[in-house]
Structure 1
């Protein structure tokens, strides 16, 4: 292995240990053979090509350089984002802003997102399978006003209905002005028709449960 390859592999080990990640799920999340990471860590595979290293880094929500920076242990000063609570994807979840702003559990801020004004929620239920699974984290930003802006229509959104229930659904126009249909992606799940929403915000980023680093 080259020095850079060894540094990437050591950084990968450190990150996987910190996040309690398993070899096969990470390999599959990166679009690689199920045994790729296992063989790499055991020295049974050649040094990862740059394309494979990029895939693994992307699956971790990082760059190759950021993975390498972990070779000497976890870097300090990583920005974090608060997890506000859970949001329903089939399961009925009451008001999910269960913590004072910024006081909830924290998760590392994914690369490319500013930690300012961004909130994470945990998915509960399976109505958005196969895109979002229970335990996954969704990141979103609210515009500071209780409203349903026109640019959320047709997109997967985090939203709150007038009863105070939090949802992640695809939002479509309802049968009357001010009403909305909340559409599930799982064909076996129910949709919610003609509801009023307090607010809705598009999902900016999705992190599978097994890849998110809670702190």
Structure 2
């Protein structure tokens, strides 16, 4: 399956700016996941250390709807903000309806407060960079 692009863990990354659909680097689909409907993205930055590191792969499923369902609150998610930037963060409810706090796990990184999101989905699987099986 193709890596769709990158998500920022501290770095500002436009959602899926890296590759045309299907043209990204190829990686084997992890055992136990069907490649249908699953998206792979690469982490850029270190704000989610020590859980996710620069170069790690994250896998998630989107149902095609732009929304932030209540079941993502409190979890590590791939999300897109209103400016079109892609992030991997822990999502928490913001100070007003429709706003969210994007929590960085690295104590030296900044948390983003009261951010408007287009969508957010929970990370289904994390593959450290050294374990990801890239296909030539």
TM above 0.5: yes
Q: Compute the displacement of 1:94 (Å).
A: 1.5
Name the structure with the higher strand share: 2
Query: Once the two structures are superposed, what CA deviation does each residue of 1:146-188 show, in whole Å capped at 9, x if it has no partner?
Result: 1111111100000000001000000000000000000000111
Of 58, 78, 90, 1:138 maps to: 58
TM-score by length of 1: 0.61
Q: Does 1:188 align with 2:112?
A: no
| Alpha-carbon separation, structure 2, partners of 1:148 and 1:196 | 10
Query: Once the two structures are superposed, what CA deviation does each residue of 1:10-39 show, in whole Å capped at 9, x if it has no partner?
Result: xxxxxxxxxxxxxxxxxxxxxxxxxxxxxx
| Alpha-carbon separation, structure 1, partners of 2:20 and 2:44 | 21
Q: Does 1:211 align with 2:128?
A: no
Q: Which runs of 5+ in 2 are unaligned?
A: none
**How many correspondences in the alignment?**
135
The residue correspondences of 1:78-117 to structure 2 (distance < 5 A) are: 81-117=1-37
Counterpart in the other structure of 2:86: 166
| Alpha-carbon separation, structure 1, partners of 2:124 and 2:78 | 10
Q: Compute the displacement of 1:121 (Å).
A: 0.5
| Alpha-carbon separation, structure 1, partners of 2:58 and 2:102 | 17
| Alpha-carbon separation, structure 1, partners of 2:67 and 2:2 | 22
Higher relative contact order (CA 8 A, sep 6+): 2
Compare CA radii of gyration and give the structure with the larger one.
1
Query: Once the two structures are superposed, what CA deviation does each residue of 1:79-122 show, in whole Å capped at 9, x if it has no partner?
Result: xx220111000111122254343332210000000000001110
Q: Does 1:151 align with 2:71?
A: yes
Q: Which runs of 5+ in 1 are unaligned?
A: 1-80
TM-score by length of 2: 0.95
